[in-house]
């Protein structure tokens, strides 16, 4: 594990050099890890939706779930854990809080972001009449900012 972390940190530090005059290192690391986790989410979603569930409904016996929602339910916990690990071991490494405390706080920030996404989309689309795609972009930018600040000063505080 330490070897993998060392390699990842070396790669991120190498890629950071052209940006070091423009953005702080912790923001670059956060963006790099978040972007990497987002791409991982997309790839995992594509693989599970197309090759595991094969676009078919998931029948659990007591409930039937559409394949696109079932895929999200499978992918979400995986990418939540990878996001936590990337933040803990790459972005915010100076925190003295225990791992269980960090994880509970991380999950609470994820929950906050889900709520912001839901209510933000309801407000922008249903109340203000803004198209869904730009609304999603606006909400995403807002939640990225909220998430970074919450992770830095709450979840992984020094």
Cβ contacts of 54 within 8 Å, gap of 6 or more:
67
At residue 158, the pLDDT reads 84
Angle between helices 67-86 and 99-121 (to 10 degrees): 140
Half-sphere exposure of 139 (CA within 13 A, CB side): 21
Residue 132 has pLDDT above 90, yes or no: no
Structure tokens belonging to residue 130 = 């803004």
Residues 105 and 79 sit within 8 Å (Cβ to Cβ): no
**1 pLDDT tier (thresholds 50, 70, 90):** confident
Half-sphere exposure of 21 (CA within 13 A, CB side): 1
At residue 92, the pLDDT reads 94
> 19-73: per-residue pLDDT in tens?
999 999 999 999 999 999 999 999 999 999 999 999 999 899 999 999 988 999 9
CA distance linking residue 35 with residue 65, whole number of Å: 28
Output phi, psi for 55, to 5 deg.
65, 10
The SS3 of residue 20 is: coil
At residue 136, the pLDDT reads 86
Q: H or E element: which one contains 81?
A: helix 67-86
| Sequence ranges of the domains in the chain | 1-93, 95-158
Q: Is 143 left (phi over 0), alpha (psi -120 to 50) or beta?
A: alpha
Structure tokens belonging to residue 14 = 């190498």
């Amino acid at each position: 594990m330490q070897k993998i972390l060392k390699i990842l940190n070396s790669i991120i530090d190498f890629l950071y050099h052209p940006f070091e005059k423009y953005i702080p290192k912790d923001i670059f690391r956060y963006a790099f890890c978040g972007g990497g986790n987002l791409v991982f989410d997309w790839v995992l979603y594509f693989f599970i939706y197309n090759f595991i569930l094969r676009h078919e409904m998931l029948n659990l016996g007591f409930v039937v779930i559409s394949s696109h929602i079932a895929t999200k339910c499978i992918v979400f916990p995986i990418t939540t854990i990878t996001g936590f690990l990337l933040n803990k071991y790459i972005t915010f490494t100076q925190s003295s809080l225990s791992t269980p405390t960090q994880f509970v706080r991380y999950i609470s920030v994820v929950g906050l972001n889900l709520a912001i996404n839901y209510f933000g989309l309801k407000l922008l689309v249903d109340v203000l009449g803004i198209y869904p795609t730009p609304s999603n972009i606006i909400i995403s930018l807002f939640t990225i900012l909220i998430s970074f600040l919450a992770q830095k000063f709450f979840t992984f505080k020094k």
